[in-house]
Amino acid sequence: MNGAHLHLALNHLPIFAIVFALLFLGFGLARRHPAIVRAGLLLVALGAAGAGGAFLTGEPAEEVVEDQPGITESRIHEHEEAGEFALWVTIAAGVVALAALWQARGRPEGPGRGATGVALALALVALATLARTAWLGGEISHPEIRGDAVMGAVMVTPDREVGD
């Protein structure tokens, strides 16, 4: 497994953790269910940890792909800048979520609605920044989403020809 594999494996974690966190937090707050709110806050913290992992594997991934045909430094740089911003927003959401959990320790009624609401709002912003980062990352090596895919291209492998 090289740096690009590791980055691709980890970069989905923060996005999905935050999506599920938002679902849990929304449902838990609406139903006043402290255990579900706690789970949502833990998922926000997991998303923050995942964002850290994805960011730390970005440079090794860049080293693997930077010299490949069709890969441009400008796309990599834009993705990297977006990733750094998304990292800090997601970490802020994770810190607030952990603070809400800490504040609620030993309280059967669970985390306060104020701190949970702030964590939820930051998680929404984090999701938007993570989604933009993911989109920009996809543009690095996926011409089909950039709109400049070569239609009808032929791919030749050692044992067969695929395509038209």
Report the predicted TM-score, pTM, of the whole model to 2 decimal places.
Answer: 0.85
Question: pLDDT tens digits for 48-79?
Answer: 999 999 999 999 998 988 888 888 999 999 99
pLDDT of residue 4: 87
Classify each residue of 110-147 as buried b or exposed e, where b means 16 or more C-beta atoms within 10 Å of its C-beta.
Answer: bbeeebbebbbebbeebbebbebbbebbebbbeeeeee
